[in-house]
A and B are shown apart, each in its own frame.
Chain A
């Protein structure tokens, strides 16, 4: 499968915030309520369409537990996009965002696009972090912000795709050097060759979606 660009994403944030569930929802369109703790890095991939260009998202789902952090942060390098995830029902996961953000900024390209995600928006009755707090944090640190639910799929597509849109916009503005591998962007092969990597866990084309979705 040909693609114009490959973008490397990382998903980071505290353990149990739903990083792996977000990935599973995005790549396989399903939700798994009980999920094993992630050790190291697990991978997912999917094709999306941005402005008529096929873009392959290669997603590195990292372990959130503190004991794995020193290992997983070494894989932040070369990411074009990051999904920084917290759980809207657990205040402490929001409080730890600064630490995650410092890590991300320290170990990756300064151009990396970061999407702040308040996950588990379906659990409104247990909400512990107001949407406005997430918005304020994102504004203060120059992040994009969305609340999502990996369970209901609300805003999951948008979170991944809007991050890709922003990366693509930066490419068009010349802010990303696509020939520098450290930026987490690769130019796709001109044509499919038999030895190329299989496209993805779940390869679908997505329509170019609007930046706002009112489902959450």
Chain B
């Protein structure tokens, strides 16, 4: 089983499989001994057979409003449904269950219907926007000593997803627009 913990930390050109690359280069973890993330461990626990072997790049976040107010804890990961894929094609969202705080998978979304943006680099914030218009903001949770590096990996991954996608015209860093009609929403829409 392939383990894909993190995109390669060094920058790379868009034409080769760097961060987010799935096929051309084995997804060598930046730190080979790193323990699988919470989401990966959750899927490995055996209740999700079909998702058990997905190589996942994941991080813990807090959901924030557009203005930065903190709401829920969210674990977000991107994964490839097949090891043959050059790029990940799935987004997974999970978070603590209301009852006991244990991680619970909320949803699995094809990346072709999701756009990821850098919302505020200085606050390590990403924006997740679904094709339906639903959008929310996530701020990376990581120790200060690794936060910039980790966020940089997400940025490079977003870059690769954007420039390898058919909708290449979509800007990488989304500027705020007064015309924008999306609003803050809870990724855990059932909770």
Contacts and interface: CB of A to CB of B under 8 A. Distances in A.
Interface in A20-43: 23-24, 27-28, 36-37, 39-43
A46 to B, nearest CB: 11
Contacts of B101: 198
Contacts of B113: 39-40, 68
Interface stretch (A70-78, A122-130, A152-160): A70-78
B114 interface: yes
Interface stretch (B1-9, B46-54, B62-70, B157-165): B46-54
7 contacts: A23-B190, A36-B130, A40-B90, A42-B190, A186-B49, A202-B98, A202-B99
Contact of A71 (B42, B50, B110, B189): B110
Nearest to A45: B104
Contacts of A42: 106-108, 189-190
Contacts of A203: 99
Given A39-B114, A197-B47, A201-B191, 8 more contacts: A24-B190, A39-B131, A58-B48, A71-B110, A74-B81, A199-B97, A199-B100, A202-B99
Interface residues of A, number: 32
Closest 3 CB pairs of A and B: A198-B102, A40-B109, A198-B97
Nearest to A193: B45
Chain B interface size, under 10 / 10 to 19 / 20 to 34 / 35 or more: 20 to 34
A61 to B, nearest CB: 9
Contacts of A134: none
Nearest to B114: A39
Given A36-B134, A39-B113, A42-B106, A75 B50 contact: yes
A40 B110 contact: yes
Interface in A173-216: 181, 186, 195-203
A17 interface: no
Given A68-B110, A199-B99, A201-B191, A78 B49 contact: yes
B103 interface: yes
Contacts of A6: 47
Interface string B109-138: 110011000000000000000111010000
A13 interface: no
Interface of A: 6, 23-24, 27-28, 36-37, 39-45, 58, 68, 71, 74-75, 77-78, 181, 186, 195-203
Interface of B: 41-42, 45-50, 81, 90, 96-110, 113-114, 130-132, 134, 189-191
Contacts of A45: 104
A35 to B, nearest CB: 8
Contacts of B97: 198-201
A198 B41 CA distance: 12
A198 B50 contact: no
Nearest to A188: B47
Contact of B49 (A37, A39, A71, A181): A181
Contacts of B130: 36, 39
Contact of A27 (B90, B132, B190): B190
Contact of B106 (A43, A197, A202): A43
B98 A201 contact: yes
B42 A197 contact: yes
Contacts of B50: 75, 77-78
Contacts of A71: 110
Contacts of B134: 36
B97 to A, nearest CB: 4
B46 A186 contact: yes
B45 A39 contact: no
B136 to A, nearest CB: 12
A43 B105 contact: yes
Contacts of A202: 98-99
B132 A197 contact: no
